[in-house]
Structure formats: structure tokens, C-alpha cells
Amino acid sequence: MNHFNWRKGVLHAEGVPLTAIADAVGTPTYVYSSATLTRHFRVVSEAFGDTPHLICYSVKANSTLAILRLFSGLGGGFDIVSGGELARVRQAGGDAGKTVFAGVGKTQEEMEAALAAGILLFNVESAEELEALDAVGRRLGRRAPFALRVNPDVDARTHRYISTGLKTSKFGVPFEEAVALYARAKKMKGVRAAGLDCHIGSQLTQASPMRDALTKVAGLYRELKAQKHPLAYLDVGGGLGITYADETPPSPEEYARTVLAATKDTGAQLILEPGRALVGNAGVLLTRVLYRKKTPEKQFVVVDAGMNDLIRPALYEAHHGLQPLVKRRGKAVEVDVVGPVCESTDVLAKARPLVLPQPGELYAFMSAGAYGMSMASNYNSRPRPAEVMVDGEAWRVVRERERIEDLWRGERA
């Protein structure tokens, strides 16, 4: 569910007509609904009931400070994959003590900063990383809390670029090596085992891969506890999918039932790392039609948003719904909606039935809250979009549109 709806033929975010935002701020612009963000966080948390759990929002999905502050205010923690994301969390008022640090390539400088900040957990992804973390802990005179991220070799049945739990993946420690690594860690003076972690991929639309992976991981957790490793946390990862077109991902309630059934009797506090599930359908990208172009084979609609603003269609062949901000009547024709970036892959919506729009008309790419602005770039020397947060009938700019002179800030000719 989201709070983007039609009122008298005009698409609104909560109580605000999106046309008003586009006219005031310009396009392209990302718009987020605070009511949707809040609802999604609470629905996921409530699905786990009284089971001890911590929602650590996956910052890479959307690292905008206003969103981080909102989740922090709801009691959430964070899942980060870089020192920069830790800095953003702290700038937004987030608690490092509710933050887990994942990723295969943490530098020792990043480890030091996170340990000094009081990080909850390092999710360690290799034997050499564990040794590096031990060195950092000894240097700082602390024992760094860690969980091994294990790779259960389970097919997430998602896009190959966002599947992370197979033997061929760069992520995680091979399942069969985990017990020996925990035994090695017992002899290290700069680390302490605090948990176990698993994440098999993103945009998961079936419960069975989650069930299969977590059943294996929960069994390993029980084995490690029996060996007297002082584990307290079982990080079940994230990856719950959303509906972009016709997907039917598990509901938060079904997701919780799957996780709880697989992890029962572990006694662990669960760490959940939703990203897309919280923010994906809470954001849209506003764009304005520039031109129409007809060739013998195609009808194109050229808009002012491009693949540098929303790269998912080019990167993953991803689908985003497309809605006019003002409803139109007429016969639909099949068009490709393309951006101004000088690449053939800059196709934001392929073979879509649209009432052929006029130049100047406004549209919204739906379900753009996740991996939209966080993956935006300045390719073709294009300033990145503005961002707006809506709260009821009020709205505010939470990131100003980049200016042309921002493009070369820090450079020397």
C-alpha cells in the first residue's frame, strides 16, 4: 500500500497534488511520502510481534538524510556497507549502536571509524577480513563484535545481478567453513563473536528461498551455540520484494511467519534488513515530456529524466509504472519513453501503451523510492534531481537540485 492516489483526475502524494511540486521545484524530481514510509516500517515490525527483533534499514536502497532521520525516529537501526553510509546515518541522528556494517571490502580505516562509533555488529565476509578486523580491534584496545555472513548456496530466484547467496557469489563465507572460522576467532584478542548473518538477494518474490536459507542458517546458529560461542544476534538479511508490475511478493505477515518458523528455538534476537520493502513504493520520479519522435519502426516520447536519474531500467531491465499527473482520455499507442542521455540503453519505459502526450506534460515513474536517487549519477554532466518529502498536505525540499557549478566542485583545470 502507498499514499499516491488520484483526486479529481490529478495524481497526489498524500494531500499534495504532484503537479504543484513539479511546477514549484521543476523536473526531474523525486517525491517521497512520509506516511508510506512510516506505515511500511510499522507493518514490518508489527508482523514480528513480541519476538525480539531490530529493523536495520538497508541504507543503500535510499540514503537521503530525511528518510534516515524518519526511520531513526521510529526506533530503527541501519544496515550499512561503507564508511560514507555510517557518516550519513550519524549525520541524520541515527544510532551506531543499532547499526550493522556489511560489505566484502571494508577498509581498516572504515573499521576503525565504525568501532570507535560503537557499531553493533560487523558482518564479516571472509577469513582475511576477520584477520583485519582483529588487527583493528587490538590496535584500538577493543574486541570488535562480529557475525560471519554465511553463504547457504540457495537460489534466490531473482535477477542474476541481485542474487547473492550462491556459491558463485562474491558475498559471504562458504557455509562449510563457518564453524572453523568461529573456532579461529575464539583465539583472537581483537574480535568477539556476537552473531550469525545471512542474506541471499534482493527483490525476493517467493518465500521458499528464504525458508530454505534460514533453516540452514538457524541450524548452524544452534550448533555454534552448543559449542559455547556467545552469540546473541541472528541477522536474517533483507531482500523482501515489492510490486513493480505484476509481482506478488510475500506480505510482511507471510515473511514474518517464514522467518519465525525457520528460526524458532534459537533464542536469538533477530536483525532484519529491509530496504526496498520500506522505501520502494514510497517514492516516485517526476518528469516532463520534451518531444515526440516517430520513426518507421517506433514511436518515442522523450522526457527530461534519464538513466543517470533512474538507472534501474538500463541496469536490470527493470519495470517502473508510468502515470500522467493529470488523467487523459484518448486512444493509447505503443511508445518507448526515453531520456536525453547519449546511450541506447537510456530507455525508461519500453513498449508502453500511452495516450500520446504533448510536450510539457508531466508524468511520474512509480515505485522509484529504492535504488533511484541512491544510484543517480552525473553522467553526461547532468545535475542530479531534487528530492521532496510530503507529510500530509505539507511538503518540503529535502535535497536541492544540483547546480551546474556543482558538477566540477573539487576539480582543478
Half-sphere exposure of 299 (CA within 13 A, CB side): 11
- The CATH code that applies to domain 4-32+280-408 is 2.40.37.10
User: Quick check: pTM over 0.85?
Assistant: yes
Task: Return the domain boundaries, the chain.
Answer: 4-32+280-408, 103-272
Averaged pLDDT of the chain: 93
**76 in a known ligand binding site:** no
Dig out the grid coordinates for 178 from the structure. Answer: 563457518
**312 in a known ligand binding site:** yes
Residue 280 is classified by DSSP as G
**201 in a known ligand binding site:** no
Cα 60 to Cα 276: distance, rounded to the nearest angstrom:
9
The pLDDT, as a whole number, for residue 246 is 84
H or E segment to which residue 333 belongs: strand 332-338
Asked whether the beta carbons of 78 and 68 are under 8 A apart, the reply is: yes
- Considering only CA atoms, which of 395, 378, 403, 394 is closest in space to residue 311? 378
**274 in a known ligand binding site:** yes
**9 in a known ligand binding site:** no
Sequence-separated contacts (24+) of 66-73 with Cβ below 8 Å: 66/32, 66/92, 66/387, 66/389, 66/398, 66/399, 67/32, 67/37, 67/279, 67/389, 68/92, 68/93, 68/94, 69/93, 69/94, 70/34, 70/37, 70/38, 71/37, 71/41, 71/278
Dig out the grid coordinates for 91 from the structure. Answer: 549525520
Q: How many CB atoms lie within 10 A of CB 291?
A: 11
Cα 19 to Cα 31: distance, rounded to the nearest angstrom:
11
Query: For 347-400, what is each residue's pLDDT tens digit?
Result: 999 999 999 999 999 999 999 999 999 999 999 999 999 999 999 999 999 999
- Considering only CA atoms, which of 120, 123, 130 is closest in space to residue 190? 130
Cα 18 to Cα 287: distance, rounded to the nearest angstrom:
11
Query: For 164-179, what is each residue's pLDDT tens digit?
Result: 444 556 677 888 899 9
Q: Which residues are catalytic?
A: 342
- Give all strands of the β-sheet with 16-17 in edge-to-edge order: 4-7, 10-13, 16-17
Which residue, chain included where needed, has cell 536519474? Answer: 309
Query: For 281-313, what is each residue's pLDDT tens digit?
Result: 999 999 999 999 999 999 999 999 999 999 999
Query: For 217-244, what is each residue's pLDDT tens digit?
Result: 999 999 999 999 999 999 999 888 898 9
Q: What are phi and psi of 232, to 5 degrees?
A: -125, -25
The pLDDT, as a whole number, for residue 168 is 56
**371 in a known ligand binding site:** yes
Cα 132 to Cα 136: distance, rounded to the nearest angstrom:
6
DSSP string, 230-263: ---EEE----B---SSS--PPPHHHHHHHHHHHH
Q: Is the pLDDT of residue 159 over 50?
A: no
Dig out the grid coordinates for 27 from the structure. Answer: 523536473
Which residue, chain included where needed, has cell 525516529? Answer: 73
DSSP 3-state percent helix, strand, coil across the chain (nearest 5): 35, 25, 40
**275 in a known ligand binding site:** yes
Q: How many CB atoms lie within 10 A of CB 78?
A: 28
The CATH homologous superfamily to which domain 103-272 belongs is Alanine racemase (3.20.20.10)
Q: Does the N-terminal peptide bond of residue 209 adopt cis geometry, omega within 30 degrees of 0?
A: no
Mean pLDDT of 86-112: 97
